[in-house]
Amino acid sequence: MTPTLGQTILDHASALARFSDMEDGLTCAFLTPAHRATQAQLVKWMEDAGMQVRIDAIGNVIGRYAADPAVTEPKVLMTGSHFDTVRNGGRYDGRLGILLPIVVVHALNVAGIRLPYHFDIVGFAEEEGLRFKTSFLASSVLAGRFDEALLDREDADGITMRDALGAAAFPGAADPAALRAAAVDPATLAGFVEVHIEQGPVLLNRGLPLGIVTQIAGSSRFQVRVEGLASHAGTTPMDMRRDAATGAAEMTLLVESRCAQVPTLVGTVGQLQVPNGSSNVIPGACVFSMDIRAGEDGIREAAIADILAGIQSIAARRGLTATVDRVTPVNNAPCARWLMDQLGAVLKKRGLEAFELPSGAGHDAMMMQRITDVAMLFVRCGNGGISHNPLETITAEDAQLAAETFVDFLRHFRADRTN
């Protein structure tokens, strides 16, 4: 393989990072002009790599590197990740898992190497939930789990998902029947294997370039609206206030203290706003997000039960009301041992440790795990392992090694589950 695969991956990630919703950083929210430009660029790179490409009803870019024509009834091995980002995010989260296989397919195609199965790369249009506060939106369509009620959900500007999709005008966009029809038939799949930047410091601290994921932590997201009474900041005595923001602050501290009780449990309030607040008005309302995750579903569910009860008791004590909206939770997703072992075998062949680690971050593979066996290859994250931050980085050497390992994996892949 050409030693420039790694550098090409980094160059492609830099090129995509120029399509952004913001001036001095990378934000790529679902169906914005930057998102559409990213999607168009992915189509072009997949076509240049020798793939047949289509865009489905939610905006996923799906490229197929067709199987060796001599193989009858080939299965589909699927890979991919998301191309949307968080606000002011990193350029590798999600995108690495699209760009790396594109570069790999390009190299296979140039070398005239066909595979005994169809190899599909999916650029998932939306995973982060930034615009519509969704969870695994694009992979839920592919997995046949799309919640049609989401079409009526509005973004911060009051634009519904239905209208945003309609304006994008993909074939079938905003048509529930087309969104249903975009689901893949699980019987056609041999599995789903996602490459992703680790987004944490484990591989970095152990001096390892690559790792194999054992499971992906389940997660639950909520939007909480606390209502109190807006009143004058100068005239309302402290003991007569119904301050929604101080109530939300106490609820935030409850999330922190409850989630600190169990090592694998994490809880985050990432958005906290006083809508239409003024410096001289006691907050009459406060809205905040909650993201709660754990490696075991029971631990997460027990924490959620305690936190939701605690929120109501804090609200009652302070004369507030709290309304909680729950985004569909995603359960812990175990990776398939037979796929992990095939990844491990190619790592060992290269003299690398087949190191296994769980993922605390969510991934499209979680949703795909509902319909097929999944595995994930993690690539070392630089800069102390920081992610969801512009400082997120990988090296060209690690990208090269990941690409070469992925080539080995594809060339040795056997769908019959015997290792």
Residue 211: Cβ-neighbour burial (10 angstroms; 0-12, 13-18, 19+)? buried
Q: How far is the CB of 366 from ligand HGY (least distance, A)?
A: 9
Nearer to Mn ion, 98 or 151 (CB): 98
The Cα–Cα gap between 108 and 101 comes to: 10
Is 145 assigned a ligand-binding role in the annotation? no
**Which of these, 146, 144, 149, lies nearest to 135 by C-alpha position?**
146
Contacted by 194, from Mn ion, ligand HGY, none: CB < 5 to 8 Å by type? none
Nearer to ligand HGY, 224 or 314 (CB): 224
The single-letter DSSP state of residue 265 is: -
Check residue 56 for interaction with ligand HGY (CB under 6 A). no
- C-beta of residue 408 within 8 angstroms of C-beta of residue 346: yes
Contacted by 362, from Mn ion, ligand HGY, none: CB < 5 to 8 Å by type? ligand HGY
The Cα–Cα gap between 165 and 48 comes to: 27
Nearer to ligand HGY, 85 or 342 (CB): 85
Contacted by 211, from ligand HGY, Mn ion, none: CB < 5 to 8 Å by type? none
The Cα–Cα gap between 375 and 366 comes to: 10
**Which of these, 343, 327, 325, lies nearest to 335 by C-alpha position?**
343
Nearer to ligand HGY, 51 or 330 (CB): 330
Nearer to ligand HGY, 361 or 407 (CB): 361
Is 118 assigned a ligand-binding role in the annotation? no
Chain residues in the site for Mn ion (CB under 5 A): 93-94
The Cα–Cα gap between 384 and 367 comes to: 28
Q: How far is the CB of 364 from Mn ion (least distance, A)?
A: 8
Between the CA of residue 364 and those of 156, 169, 193, 417, what are the distances in Å?
24, 24, 10, 22
Q: Which amino acid, residue 101?
A: P
Q: What track of x and - describes contact with ligand HGY for positions 75 through 114 (by CB under 6 A)?
A: ----------------------------------------
The Cα–Cα gap between 28 and 87 comes to: 7
Is 93 assigned a ligand-binding role in the annotation? yes
- How many residues line the site for ligand HGY (CB under 6 A)? 4
Is 221 assigned a ligand-binding role in the annotation? yes
- Give me the count of residues in the chain: 419
Dihedrals φ, ψ of 132, to 5°? -115, 15
Q: How far is the CB of 255 from Mn ion (least distance, A)?
A: 20
Nearer to ligand HGY, 108 or 138 (CB): 138
Nearer to ligand HGY, 32 or 85 (CB): 85
Check residue 127 for interaction with ligand HGY (CB under 6 A). yes
Among 84, 128, 155, 398, binds ligand HGY (CB under 6 A): 128
Check residue 362 for interaction with ligand HGY (CB under 6 A). yes
Q: How far is the CB of 388 from ligand HGY (least distance, A)?
A: 7
Dihedrals φ, ψ of 385, to 5°? 90, 15
- C-beta of residue 19 within 8 angstroms of C-beta of residue 41: yes
The Cα–Cα gap between 197 and 380 comes to: 6
**Which of these, 363, 106, 337, 115, lies nearest to 218 by C-alpha position?**
363
Q: How far is the CB of 63 from ligand HGY (least distance, A)?
A: 22
The single-letter DSSP state of residue 238 is: G
Q: How far is the CB of 361 from ligand HGY (least distance, A)?
A: 4
Nearer to ligand HGY, 128 or 243 (CB): 128
Dihedrals φ, ψ of 244, to 5°? -65, -30
Q: Which residues bind ligand HGY (CB under 6 A)?
A: 127-128, 361-362
Q: Which residues are annotated as a binding site for allantoate?
A: 221, 280, 293
Q: Which residues are annotated as a binding site for Zn(2+)?
A: 82, 93, 128, 196, 388
Q: Which residues are annotated as a binding site?
A: 82, 93, 128, 196, 221, 280, 293, 388
